[in-house]
């Protein structure tokens, strides 16, 4: 009997170990990705696949839940945002899209925090990864807000990076809602006017997306250039005295 208890304890420890939980996370994400490839749930977000079956406030809420689940399964958010505008217009589509964005970010954060963080944190290496971890851990709201405002950062990557860091859930979700609002609104507006692509509203939304995309590319290129220049600057060697010891600065006379 004691041997059985000890065996059960060892099995439970193995199943709850960081790498076992990380394997569960990988399996869940792989299953979600496979489901997207097999069933194409994004088709439900089109006028022919969704709207004839549901309407009203309950449909908007259901859409937000489906939106959040689809983002965890790596369905692109621009497609979902445009679908929200096409199905429900700006007034209902924008809250549904932002709600789905926050829900999807929260689900990914919780999954990454409880299933992947303990296994991944010891593997953090490199100046960029460590710097991002420090920024998210020390300045969670501000750093997450910057990531969401920057269109070039993948949504899922930002979610799991935050989950591995020490940022708390509430600042992460609040910054996600605030930082994603402008870009999400542009896609929702574009989707709501997709039937009239020459309308001023549609063209203005596309112009906003184009400007933010170009600005993101310029900023990203500047960051890469500064990082490369910083890496090329040689570190000055310490001064050495004639005796082979590090030289000490001369004291100023009184």
Q: What angle do CA 124, 128, 133 make, to 5 degrees?
A: 55
| pTM reported for the whole predicted model | 0.73
Give the C-alpha separation, 178 to 176, whole Å: 6
Q: What is the pLDDT along the chain (254 residues), one digit of tens a residue?
A: 565 555 455 655 555 688 888 899 899 999 988 888 887 766 655 555 555 455 678 888 999 999 999 999 888 899 999 989 988 889 999 999 999 999 999 999 999 999 988 888 777 776 667 777 888 888 889 989 988 988 778 899 899 989 988 899 999 999 999 999 999 999 999 988 876 777 777 777 777 777 766 765 665 555 455 545 544 555 455 555 555 555 555 554 44
Helix (H, G, I), strand (E, B) or coil at 85: helix
C-alpha 111/C-alpha 105 separation (Å) is 10
**Which pLDDT does position 214 carry in this prediction?**
72
Tell me the two tokens of residue 249.
Answer: 């600065």
How many angstroms separate the CA atoms of 83 and 190, rounded? 10
What integer pLDDT is reported at residue 227 of this predicted model?
Answer: 47
- pLDDT at position 4 is 58
């Amino acid at each position: 009997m004691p041997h059985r208890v000890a065996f059960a304890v060892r099995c439970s420890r193995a199943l709850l170990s960081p790498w076992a939980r990380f394997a569960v996370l990988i399996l869940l994400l792989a299953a979600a990705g496979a489901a997207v490839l097999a069933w194409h749930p994004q088709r439900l977000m089109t006028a022919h696949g969704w709207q004839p079956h549901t309407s009203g406030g309950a449909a908007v809420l259901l859409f937000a839940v489906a939106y959040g689940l689809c983002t965890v399964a790596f369905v692109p958010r621009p497609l979902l945002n445009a679908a929200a505008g096409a199905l429900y217009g700006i007034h209902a589509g924008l809250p549904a899209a932002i709600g789905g964005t926050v829900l999807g970010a929260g689900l990914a954060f919780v999954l990454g925090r409880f299933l992947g963080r303990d296994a991944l944190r010891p593997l953090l290496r490199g100046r960029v990864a460590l710097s991002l971890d420090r920024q998210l851990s020390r300045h969670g709201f501000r750093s997450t807000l910057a990531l969401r405002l920057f269109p070039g950062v993948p949504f899922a990557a930002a979610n799991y990076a935050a989950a591995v860091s020490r940022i708390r859930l509430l600042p992460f979700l609040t910054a996600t809602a605030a930082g994603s609002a402008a870009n999400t609104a542009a896609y929702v507006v574009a989707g709501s006017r997709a039937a009239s692509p020459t309308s001023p509203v549609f063209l203005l939304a596309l112009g906003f997306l184009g400007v933010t995309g170009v600005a993101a590319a310029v900023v990203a290129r500047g960051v890469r250039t500064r990082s490369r220049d910083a890496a090329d600057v040689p570190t000055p060697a310490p001064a050495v005295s004639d005796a082979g010891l590090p030289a000490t600065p001369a004291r100023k006379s009184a």
